[in-house]
Amino acid sequence: MAFKLVPCLFLFFLFTIASGDCETAKGGPDYPPQNPKPDVNYKDITMVKGVCARLYIPKTATNPNQKLPLVVYYHGGAFVSFSAFLQPHDDFVYSLVKNSSTIALSVEYRLATSNHPLSVPFNDSWAALKWVASHSSGQGPEEWINKKVDFSRIVLLGDSAGANLALAMKVGSKKLKGLNINGIVLIHPYFWGSKPIGSLEPREADKRAQGDGVWNNAGGASLGLDNPLVNPLVDPKLANLGCSKVLVFIAGEDIYRDRGFYYCEALRTNGWKGKVELVETPGEKHVFHLNEPNSKNTQDMLHRISSFLNNA
């Protein structure tokens, strides 16, 4: 691994390249997979102007009548960094597609940078779902999606800030014709708030500053730290989630751990009708799955997501 994805997100080492129709951080469609992907076909596509994606399909998907679930993946990076095309994210999605035999769309949303307000990654994430929905009658621009996707089995997946993007798609309150989102997977969601919660969340000023800084640096200062996009616990519509199941991963050594835990508790106690699964990985750090792709804990995570997808 050439570099580690550091969860403290004051890293502005990535630069933005505008390449053709697609605006992307370092990487981009000219940045093909770094590891051979023998079991999966992929292609890089432009969904709408400025918003690209890498689409993955297992090579075993040859039966013309067999439809597969689609997982829509939103990478993390504090809203301001990383890319669907970076090796750790590409490898992770590849492993998931291979193990779960599903199709994946890894969304290259535009980052919140000096050129774009924080609403851009959220709006682009929504535009990607609208684009997927445009295929539901078999008439969309992308044949793999027209032919192979089971539109009744769509799952959203995100890690870190990408989990916030996935959750913000307000499944249920905004319907997209033809699309049934039946599950959401949140890996180490970047949930935070103005005040410490529970007994374990850090109170130390430096750790609070780290959590606050992610949101504020991305342009969230004017929205405040108790906006539902970063603090879903205060969302009065928390229980309106319109999918039937949610899977949340938390990591034992992650400062965002407790918020993930309390989010699951809130879903359970606030009258949400779906099923919530919580998986804690003790001793692990934020987004360990990207840094340790071959570890047992990452493999366990992949299998857990695979079974979630296949029971979608």
**Residue 181 phi, psi dihedral angles, 5° rounding:** -85, 110
H helices of the chain, where?
Answer: 87-100, 119-133, 143-148, 161-168, 205-215, 257-269, 288-291, 296-310
Q: Which is nearer to ligand NAG, 160 or 306 (CB)?
A: 306
* Token pair 């991963």 in the structure block, residue: 249
Cβ count within 10 A of residue 266: 17
102 binds ligand NAG (CB under 6 A): no
Instruction: Give the Cα separation of 165 and 1 in Å (integer).
Output: 26
Indicate if 160 belongs to the active site.
yes
101 binds ligand NAG (CB under 6 A): yes
What is the nearest approach in angstroms of ligand NAG to the Cβ of residue 137? Answer: 24
Of positions 87, 99, 102, 291, contacts ligand NAG by CB under 6 A: 99
What is the nearest approach in angstroms of ligand NAG to the Cβ of residue 31? Answer: 26
Instruction: Give the Cα separation of 32 and 202 in Å (integer).
Output: 39
Active-site residue identified among 188, 254, 258, 306? 254
SS3 159: strand
Instruction: Give the Cα separation of 312 and 307 in Å (integer).
Output: 8
How big is the site for ligand NAG, counted in residues (CB under 6 A)? 9
Rule CB under 6 A: which of 34-93 touch ligand NAG? none
What is the nearest approach in angstroms of ligand NAG to the Cβ of residue 168? Answer: 11
Which candidate, 26, 22, 54, places its Cα nearest to that of 40? 54
Selected range binding ligand NAG among 75-83, 98-106, 165-173, 241-249, rule: CB under 6 A: 98-106
Q: Which is nearer to ligand NAG, 113 or 306 (CB)?
A: 306
Selected range binding ligand NAG among 113-121, 221-229, 238-246, 253-261, rule: CB under 6 A: 113-121
Which candidate, 23, 99, 19, 21, places its Cα nearest to that of 56? 99
Rule CB under 6 A: which of 118-137 touch ligand NAG? 119-120, 123
117 binds ligand NAG (CB under 6 A): yes
Q: Which is nearer to ligand NAG, 147 or 304 (CB)?
A: 304
Three state DSSP letters for 235-294: CCCHHHCCCCEEEEEEECCCCCHHHHHHHHHHHHHCCCCCEEEEEEECCCCCCHHHHCCC
Active-site residue identified among 160, 188, 258, 289? 160
Long-range CB contacts for residues 119-127, cutoff 8 Å, separation at least 24: 121/79, 121/161, 121/165, 122/165, 122/168, 122/229, 124/50, 124/51, 125/74, 125/165, 125/166, 125/168, 125/169, 126/169, 126/174, 127/47, 127/48, 127/51
Q: Which is nearer to ligand NAG, 19 or 119 (CB)?
A: 119
Rule CB under 6 A: which of 292-311 touch ligand NAG? 303, 306
Indicate if 226 belongs to the active site.
no
What is the nearest approach in angstroms of ligand NAG to the Cβ of residue 13? Answer: 25
What is the nearest approach in angstroms of ligand NAG to the Cβ of residue 120? Answer: 5
Q: Which is nearer to ligand NAG, 34 or 123 (CB)?
A: 123
Instruction: Give the Cα separation of 279 and 308 in Å (integer).
Output: 12
Binding mask 253-292 for ligand NAG (x = CB under 6 A): ----------------------------------------
Indicate if 286 belongs to the active site.
yes
Residues forming the site for ligand NAG (CB under 6 A): 98-99, 101, 117, 119-120, 123, 303, 306
Catalytically active residues are 160, 254, 286
